[in-house]
Amino acid sequence: MAKKVALVTGGMGGLGTAICKALANDGWTVVANCLPAFPPAAEWLAKTKADGFEFHIGEADVTDYEQCGAMVKKIEAELGPIDCIVNNAGITRDGMFRKMEKGQWDAVLATNLDSVFNVTHHILPGMAERGFGRVINISSVNGVKGQFGQANYSAAKAGILGLTKALAQEVAKKGVTVNAIAPGYIGTDMVMAIKEEVREQIVAQVPAGRLGKPEEIGDLCAYLASDKAGYITGATININGGLHMC
Ligand code: CAA
Ligand code: NAP
């Protein structure tokens, strides 16, 4: 039987790479999405190949609905139906609300929230028709609790939680689960871009006393994608070293 196909948006980033690897280790055929004509894609493919992985690439700007449709069509024609989508692509444009420019707001909402619609909308009908699907949306602890300096990001990531719960109800009887993962601070470029003294203050507030590892998010993702997780839907799974308990 052909292996099932999973698509990971922003698949070449810090969390994306770990998610791709965890899904591949569970037997999924994995497509890593990246922006069109993304120069480091070839290098990423070569590096992951050296680690023993054979990934595919799906090019699209996730803020562009039409590009996402074309990407999904191409993947499904070449590899077969997509049974798992991990909506992981995201950006930050931090700043205090009163200093925040409209462009910072728009970019973060488009990349972190609109993208979930743009990609999933092309995939979900097929999942429902086939009676199986996994939709995994990467939110954030800062979407759950709100974060000083991140009105845009907190709004987008909280929006993902609402979308997850609504959509989960619509497709639960169709064998499709829809869940959100809300990571705390994980040691990727996104977090390393925070000023060092601010980052140190954040880590000091984490009961576990450290940043999370990308692999810890990858493993949770692989579990949610597995048959074992068929009764988990509409959930927000917090994975934050105790930073926010709810
Ligand atoms: N709570 C309360 N007050 C705070 C605060 C906080 N968390 N952070 C800063 N302040 C206060 C400062 O003490 C300062 O007060 P005074 O004016 O009285 O001195 C004031 O706010 C301005 O602070 P800054 O000088 O730092 O202002 P800035 O404009 O240079 O930077 C900022 C503001 C961009 C928000 C910066 O503080 C920052 O980068 N904070 C971190 C935001 C953050 O956590 N981002 C997460 C990125 S990673 C990610 O998002 C992944 C994920 O999902 C977890
Ligand atoms: P990252 O390394 O910066 O990865 C983000 C990925 O998204 C990059 O590959 C990036 O590509 C891609 N991307 C950005 N805009 C895109 C677009 N328009 N179209 C297609 N791809 C796009 O960050 P990360 O830490 O792995 O974050 C992954 C996800 O986890 C994000 O949604 C983030 O908000 C969330 N998250 C992260 C943390 C954390 O602590 N790291 C915590 C909670 C939630 P480029 O490199 O080309 O820009």
Identified catalytic residue from 153, 185, 223, 231:
153
pLDDT band, very low/low/confident/very high, at 39 (cuts 50, 70, 90): confident
pTM, two decimals, is 0.98
For domain 5-236, the CATH class is alpha beta
65 is catalytic: no
10 Å CB burial of residue 13 (0-12, 13-18, 19+) is buried
Q: Which atom of ligand 1 is nearest to the CA of 147?
A: 44
CB distance 140 to ligand 2 below 6 Å? yes
pLDDT at 3 over 90: no
Q: What share of residues in the chain are helix, strand, coil (percent, to 5)?
A: 50, 15, 30
Model pLDDT, residue 2: 60
Q: Where are the alpha helices (DSSP H) in 80-145?
A: 102-109, 115-130, 141-145
pLDDT at residue 220 is higher than 60: yes
Name residues contacting ligand 1 (CB within 6 A).
Answer: 92, 94-96, 140-142, 147-150, 153, 185, 190-191, 194-195, 198, 202
Query: What amino acid is encoded at 189 in this protein?
Result: D
Q: What is the pLDDT of residues 62-107, one digit of tens each?
A: 999 999 999 999 999 999 999 999 999 999 999 999 999 999 999 9
pLDDT of residue 76: 98
* Residue 1 pLDDT greater than 60, yes or no: no
Q: State percent of the chain over pLDDT 70.
A: 99
